[in-house]
Amino acid sequence: MSRVELSRAIKRYGATQVIHGIDLEIDEGEFCVFVGPSGCGKSTLLRMIAGLEETSDGTIRIGARDVTRVDAADRGVAMVFQTYALYPHMTVEENMGFGLRMNGHAKDEIQQKVDEAAGILKLEDYLSRKPKALSGGQRQRVAIGRAIVRGPEVFLFDEPLSNLDAELRVDMRVEIARLHKEIGATMIYVTHDQVEAMTLADKIVVLRAGHIEQVGAPMDLYNDPDNRFVAGFIGSPSMNFLRGTVTADGVEVPGLGRTLQPKVTLPPDGTAVQIGVRPEHLKLTEGTALRVDLTEALGGVSYAYLVAETGERMIVEDRRRERIGMDTRADITCDPGDIFVFDAETEQRIR
């Protein structure tokens, strides 16, 4: 168990810079999730920590050591890959013990550690099988087992659940959470799935285009996003945004055909802004401002897809028993405290 510290970490491929001076601290035993859209550099950042990508500039520290120029094998990290990356010619047991074998550990010590990890992951019955004879979920458990056996200071997960089907993904997510509780090691986890991020993380790092957009606990990001990107990325379905202009009375929103009074310190009159409201904070009411384009019933909850006169689209969570008909007209209300305001140009939050 160790803390991980990045300062001004930069990655360049030739002239193209993909990671722009990341400063980040991950505490001992923390479960940290890197999340962001594809191409945002989250995997690259993880691979820089693993030592699989060279760090062009800046430093990476694990525990007390500066590991920026240290070989992957000597950083005290273990990684779980999206494709599992199990050695196909070795049995489960050999796969899990391979790292220790390469580092010259004694046979009975390897055996003991493999058995221990197999116990934690309930893999005892599969030890003599080859990866080919395992299901996707079992393979991923072996990959996690291989990481545990090495007893690393930091566990790294690179989109480990992306290749699993939906149901298994939920099971494995729970299992990874349980594992973290059980061994309490520092873990860094990369995903593009914000549900995984929200459920697993102690700390979420939202990345976009090689920059950190915001770092914080899951609920902090949800309740208090710094900018429009984070607000839109965290939460499912994502936040609704409508164009508006600041006036003397509040924010005039053409899409709703009225002026809202959000509880924020508004900038000078005439400033272009965007207001954001989460689907779960909106209520459907009688009215004619919006057209119901489509409704989706998921059982306990249904979602109404609304279109404004301006063409802007919104999603409203509807917990009433009766579904609203398609192509009818409706209006929405919400608590003024639930309205977020963002600068239209800089996309920064106006508080």
Partner 1 sequence: MSNAKSPLQRLNETQSAYLLLLPFLLTYGLFLIYPFFRGVWISLHDWNLLQVAFNPDAKQFVGLDNYVRVMWGRNIEWSPWARPVLQVLGLLGVVASVALNRTRRLTSLTSVALGLAGAALFLISGVHAGEEGRWFDRRFWPTVGNTVLFVGLTVPGVTISALLIAAALNRETRAMSLLRTLFFLSQVLSVTVVTLIWQIMFSPRQGLIANITELAGGSPINWLTDERFAMAAIVIATIWWSLGIAMILFLAGLQDISKDLFEAGALDNCTGVRAFWHITLPNLKRTITLVIILQIILHFQVFGQSHLMTQGGPNDETQVLVRYIYQTAFRDSELGRASAMAVFLFVIMGAFSVVQFLVGREEND
Residues that bind partner 1 (CB under 8 A): 50-52, 71-74, 77-79, 81, 83, 85-90, 98-99, 102-103, 146, 150
Which CB atom, from 186 or from 240, has the smaller least distance to partner 1? 186
Distance CA(171)–CA(192), nearest Å, equals: 18
Please say whether the beta carbons of 200 and 173 come within 8 A.
yes
Which CB atom, from 131 or from 250, has the smaller least distance to partner 1? 131
Shortest gap between Cβ of 320 and partner 1 (angstroms)? 49
Tokens standing for residue 315: 């999603």
Are β-strands 340-343 and 154-158 bridged in parallel, bridged antiparallel, or unpaired? unpaired
Shortest gap between Cβ of 19 and partner 1 (angstroms)? 18
Shortest gap between Cβ of 187 and partner 1 (angstroms)? 15
Which CB atom, from 86 or from 251, has the smaller least distance to partner 1? 86
Shortest gap between Cβ of 85 and partner 1 (angstroms)? 4
Rg of the Cα atoms in the chain: 24
Tell me how far the alpha carbon of residue 191 is from its chain's centroid: 5
Which CB atom, from 132 or from 321, has the smaller least distance to partner 1? 132
Beta-carbon neighbour count of residue 166 at 10 Å?
7
Tokens standing for residue 91: 């049995």
Distance CA(132)–CA(143), nearest Å, equals: 13
Which CB atom, from 32 or from 86, has the smaller least distance to partner 1? 86
Shortest gap between Cβ of 142 and partner 1 (angstroms)? 12
Report the b/e string of 169-198 with b at 16+ CB within 10 A: beebbebbeebbeeeebbbbbbbbbbebbb
